[in-house]
Amino acid sequence: MVKLSVIVPFYNVQQYAPDTLKSLRTNTREDFEFILVDDCSRDGTPEILARAERELPGAVVVRHERNGGLATARNTGIDRARGEYLTFLDGDDWLAPGYYPQLVSSIEELGCDFVRTDHVQCTGRTRAVHRVPQGRRNVTLNPRESILPADRSTSVDYPYAWAGIYHRRLADRGLLYFTDGLRTAEDRPWIWKLHREAESFAAVGLLGVYYRRGVASSLTQIGDVRQLDFIRAFDQVIEETAKDREADRLLIKAVRTYCAVMAHHLGSIERFEPAVARQLRSLCAAALKRLPQDVLAQVMDSMDPQRAARLRRVRRRPTTSRKVAV
């Protein structure tokens, strides 16, 4: 039986894919499989993956006929996964040797639905450790209770799918799937769903994923219309949380996070193309008007004055359609 399925989407990452695949080779085990999803790459990535399928034990390459984005590529991998546990890696990141066997041991010892891990963020030659915002380590916790408090960074603010491992029963319940077509912020509805609906989780101080920041092709670096998918992602968070049995308790956290992300994008609006910047302002105005106004008022009153003023200014703008063009 396959113990661990590792799902790795690739899209036009020929510069970084060899390092990613090399690190996977230092994490092989006879009961591990590596599902390498080529999301219709148009550079040398397909040839690199074809070689990996021959040389990397447990590797299976799945190719998309059209580019679907990271969320859709991950879903393809989930559909193909056979493991008792699942995890993710991005095609431009890499691993420490022997990390996955340690990760499997962690979740087996704890016996929970999912485990979250710290990671190393790499920007050029700079390395910085980023930790799960959960003070209690190596103990099984209720995921729902780690959503709050609203005014502090919590586990739902640490959305990285590759920073953890997940039991197959979550996939069987539909909790591991991402929203098809989201081009950015795809982890946000996903992590909120996990914390609302899974039964147990733990945070462990295990470092092994090296997350590459500042990649020129990454959507976090590109100010085009795809970045605006964060509106769709957080609309989904708000809509689903509003239906939760504890909506009165949880919505303030969801609204606060949404407002913080809007304020962040509006504060760096100069990196967007002019037409996209106009659309960002209009979409944010419409989003603010859709939010529950009593909760929004509480959030605005508790934000720092500069960010709150930024949101109040955009809120007065004429609104446009919810639809974000891609």
By the 10 Å C-beta count (0-12 exposed, 13-18 middle, 19+ buried), 258 is classed as buried
Distance of alpha carbon 137 from the chain centroid: 21
Q: Which residue, 66, 93, 76, 82, is CA-closest to 37?
A: 76
* Residue-by-residue DSSP string for 102-148: HHHHHHHHHT-SEEEE-EEEEETTEEEEE--S-S--SS-B-GGGGS-
Q: Is the pLDDT of residue 321 over 60?
A: no
Cis amide bond preceding 189, omega within 30: no
Tell me the domain boundaries of the chain. 4-219, 223-315
Q: Can you give the pLDDT at residue 326?
A: 40
11-21 average pLDDT score: 97
Q: Is the pLDDT of residue 63 over 70?
A: yes
Per the CATH hierarchy, to which homologous superfamily does domain 4-219 belong? Answer: Spore Coat Polysaccharide Biosynthesis Protein SpsA; Chain A (3.90.550.10)
17-24 average pLDDT score: 98
**Other Cβ atoms within 10 Å of 102 Cβ, number:** 15
Distance of alpha carbon 204 from the chain centroid: 18
At 325, the pLDDT band (50, 70, 90 cuts) reads very low
- Tokens (6 digits) for 128: 């910085």
Q: Can you give the pLDDT at residue 224?
A: 75
Q: Is the pLDDT of residue 318 over 80?
A: no
Q: Can you give the pLDDT at residue 324?
A: 43
State the chain's mean pLDDT as an integer. 94
Lookup result for tokens 């710290």: 118
pLDDT tens profile 202-257? 999 999 999 998 765 554 445 678 899 999 999 999 999 999 999 999 999 999 99
**Angle made by CA atoms 221, 230, 7, in degrees to the nearest 5:** 75
Determine contact, residues 232/205, Cβ cutoff 8 Å: no
Q: Can you give the pLDDT at residue 317?
A: 74
Cα–Cα dist 319/283, whole Å:
7
At 316, the pLDDT band (50, 70, 90 cuts) reads confident
Residues 6 or more apart from 64 whose CB is under 8 A from it?
Answer: 37, 38, 39, 40, 72, 73, 76
Helix (H) or strand (E) holding 195: helix 187-197
Cα–Cα dist 87/158, whole Å:
16
pLDDT tens profile 89-132? 999 999 999 999 999 999 999 999 999 999 999 999 999 999 99
The conformation of residue 58, written as its DSSP 8-state character, comes to T
- Tokens (6 digits) for 285: 């105005």
Q: Can you give the pLDDT at residue 225?
A: 87
